[in-house]
Structure 1
Amino acid sequence: MLYAYRLVTSGLELMPIESDLKEALWIDLLNPLQTQVEALAALGVTVPTLADMEEIEVSNRLYREGDTEVLTVVLPGLNKMKEPSFGPVAFLITPERLVTVRYHTPRPFETFAAHAGQSSAGCSGRRRVFLGLVEEIVARLADLLEGVGKALDAQSHIAFRDPPPRGDELASALRILGRQSEQVAKYRHALLTVERALSSFGLGLDERGDKAQREILKALVRDCQALAVHGDFLSARVSQLTDVNFGLINLEQSNTSRIFSVVAVLFMPPTLVASVYGMNFPNLPGIENPYGYHIATVLMLGSGLGTYLLCKWKKWL
C-alpha cells in the first residue's frame, strides 16, 4: 500500500491514487509492492527491504545516502493478522519529502495525518513532518506504558487483597506479569531506537539553523529519556509483584503441607493403639475381655481427639 500526503492549509491531505507523487510531502509505504518501489526509485529514493531494516548494526539503521537521511526505529503495532507485533520502520528524509517504509501497522501512522497541523512541530516541511510523527510515536509509547501501569495496579490489588488469592489466580497472575514484563522490555527498546534516531537527526540541525526544530528535538529526547526511566520503574514493579506472587504460592504450599502433616500426626496415636491390639500373641492382655473392642475404639478416638485439641491449642491447624 502507498499513501501519499500533500500539504494543505489545515495540515496534510491524503492524495488520490492517480496523483503525481512529486507533489507529495509525505509518502508512507506499507508492505510496498515492486511497482511502488520502482515509482519511488523514479523520484531518486531507494526503498530499503525488510531484511535491510532488520539489521542490528547501527550503520545499517542510521546512515546517509547522498542527500537522503535514513533512520530506522523499532515500533509496536499490528501485523497482517491484526495481532500485536514489533517491527522496524524506516524514515527516509529526502530534500523534497519524507518517505516512511513499514511492514506492520503502528497506530501513529494511522492517526497523525488527521491532526498534523495541530502538532507542536507543524507540517510545513518534511523535517517538521518527521518531528511531528515522532512526537505522535512517543505519545503512543507513553500511552502503552500507562496501560502496563494500570495492569500492574490491578495485579497489585489482587496480590494484596484480603483474603489472599489462591491457586489458579496466582498462576494467572504470573502469566499476566510475564506478558507485561515482555511488553515493557519491547517498549523500552522502541524508546531506545527512537532516541538514537533523534540524536542522529539532530547532528545536522545546527547547520540548518532552525532553532524551533532544535527545541522540539530536545523536548522529544527528554520525553524519551523520561519514558525510559518510567519503563525501568515498571520493570521493578513487575519484579516486585512476581516475588510477592511466588511468596504467596510458597505460603499456600506450606499451609497445604502443614495440614497433611498434622493429619498424619492425628492418625498416629490411633494407629499405635490399633497396632498393639492387632498383635497376634496368645497372651495379649485384655484379649479375652468382652469389652476389649469398645475399649480399643475409645482409646483410638480419645487419642485422636486429644492430638487434634493439642494441634488447635498450638495453632497448627
Structure 2
Amino acid sequence: MLAAYQHEGSGLAPLGPDRDLSQAHWIDLFGPDAEETARVEAFGIGVPSLEDMEEIEISNRLHREGDCQVMTVMLPGRDEKGRQFSAPVTFLLTPERLVTVRHHAPRPFDTFPSRADRSSAGTDTPVRIFLGLVEEIIARQADLLEATGRVLDRVAGEVYGDEANDVEGLRLALRDVGQQGELTAKVRLALFTMERMLSTFITWNATMKARDPQIGTLAKAQMRDINALEVHLDFLNSRVALATDATLGMINLDENAVVRTLSVVAALFLPPTLIASIYGMNFAHMPELDEPYAYFIALGAMVASAAGTWIWFKAKGWL
C-alpha cells in the first residue's frame, strides 16, 4: 500500500490518487508491491526489500546512496491478531522527499499525518517531516512504557494486596508481567536503534546547520528524550524482575501450603498404618489375637496414635 502526503499549511495533507507523485513530500510504503516500488524507484531512490532491511550490519542499516540517507530502525507494531512484535522500518531521506518502507503497522505512521501540524519540527521540508515522525515514534514508545507501568501497578496490587489470590490468578499475573517484559525489550531495541540513527543523522547533516540551524538542535533534543526514556525503561525492568520474583514466590508459598497439608495428613496416618501392619503379619503365634476385645483395642490404639501425632504437631506450631 502506498500513501503520499504533501506539506499544506502547518501540517500534511494526503495526496490524491490523481495527483502527480512527484509533488509528495512524504511517501509511505506499507508492504509495497512491485508496481508501487517501481513508482518510487522512478525518482532514483532504491527501495530495499524486507531481507535487506533485516540485515543487522550497521553498514546496511545506516548508509548513504548519493544524496539519499538510508536509515533502518526496529520498531514495535502489531500483527493481524493484535500481537506485539518488532520489525524493521527504513527511512529514505532525500532533499526532495522522505520515503518510509515498512512491512508491519507501527501506530505512529497512522497517527502522525493527522497530528503533524502539532509537531515541534514542522512539516515544511522532508527533513523536518522526518524529525516530526521520529518525535511521534518516541512519544509512542513513552506511551508503551506508561502502559507497562499501569500493568505493573495492577499486578502489584493483586500480588501484594490483602485479598488472597488463587494459584490460577497468580499465574495470570505472571503471564501479564512476562508480556510486559517482552514489550519493554522491544521498546529498548527501538530506542537503541533510533538513538544510533539520530546520532548518524546528526553527523551526516552537520553541514545543514548553515541552511537550517534548528535541525541539529531538534535531533539532539530527541536524543535527550530517548536517553530519558532509557532511564525510565531500566526502572520498569527492575519492577518487572521484582514482580516476577514476587509472583513466583506467592505461587510457591501457595503450593507449599498444599504440600504441607498433604504431608500432615500422611503423617497422621503413619502410626495407625504401623499398628495395622503389625497385626496384619501372618505369624503363627500372636497372643493378642485370642483376646475377645483385641479388635477394638487395636482400633483404639490407631485412633490414639493419630490423635497423639496431631497434638504433637499442634504443639510444635506446624498446624
Pairwise TM-score range, normalised by the shorter structure: over 0.9
The amino acid that maps onto 2:64 is R
Q: CA RMSD in A?
A: 1.9
Query: Of 271, 288, 300, which aligns to 1:298?
Result: 300
The answer to whether 1:171 aligns with 2:171 is yes
Q: CA deviation at 1:184?
A: 1.0
Identity across the alignment (%): 49
Q: CA deviation at 1:178?
A: 2.1
The amino acid that maps onto 1:252 is D
Q: 2:85–2:186: 8 Å Cα contact kept in structure 1?
A: no
2:281 and 2:26 map into 1 onto residues whose CA distance is 96
Counterparts in 2 of 1:4 and 1:283: CA distance versus 1, 3 Å: closer
Counterpart for residue 41 of structure 1: 41
Q: 1:31–1:104: 8 Å Cα contact kept in structure 2?
A: yes
Q: CA deviation at 1:268?
A: 2.2
Counterpart for residue 125 of structure 1: 125
The amino acid that maps onto 2:104 is H
Q: Gaps spanning 5+ residues in structure 1: where?
A: none
Q: How does 1:78-227 map to 2 (within 5 A)?
A: 78-79=78-79, 83-209=83-209, 210-227=212-229
Counterpart for residue 230 of structure 2: 228
Q: CA deviation at 1:235?
A: 1.7
**Residues 90-134 of structure 1: CA deviation (Å, up to 9, x unaligned):** 111111111111111111111111121211111111111011000
Taking structure 1 as the reference length, the TM-score comes to: 0.93
1:117 and 1:144 map into 2 onto residues whose CA distance is 23
Q: 1:80–1:104: 8 Å Cα contact kept in structure 2?
A: no
Select between 78-87 and 19-28 the one with higher mean Cα deviation. Answer: 78-87
1:174 and 1:79 map into 2 onto residues whose CA distance is 23
Q: CA deviation at 1:293?
A: 2.0
Q: How does 1:1-80 map to 2 (within 5 A)?
A: 1-79=1-79
2:184 and 2:30 map into 1 onto residues whose CA distance is 26
Q: 2:149–2:236: 8 Å Cα contact kept in structure 1?
A: yes
* SS of 1:86 mapped into structure 2: strand
Counterparts in 2 of 1:275 and 1:19: CA distance versus 1, 3 Å: same
Q: CA deviation at 1:282?
A: 5.7
How many residues align? The count is: 317
Q: Gaps spanning 5+ residues in structure 2: where?
A: none
Counterparts in 2 of 1:115 and 1:316: CA distance versus 1, 3 Å: same
Q: CA deviation at 1:265?
A: 1.9
1:79 and 1:265 map into 2 onto residues whose CA distance is 54
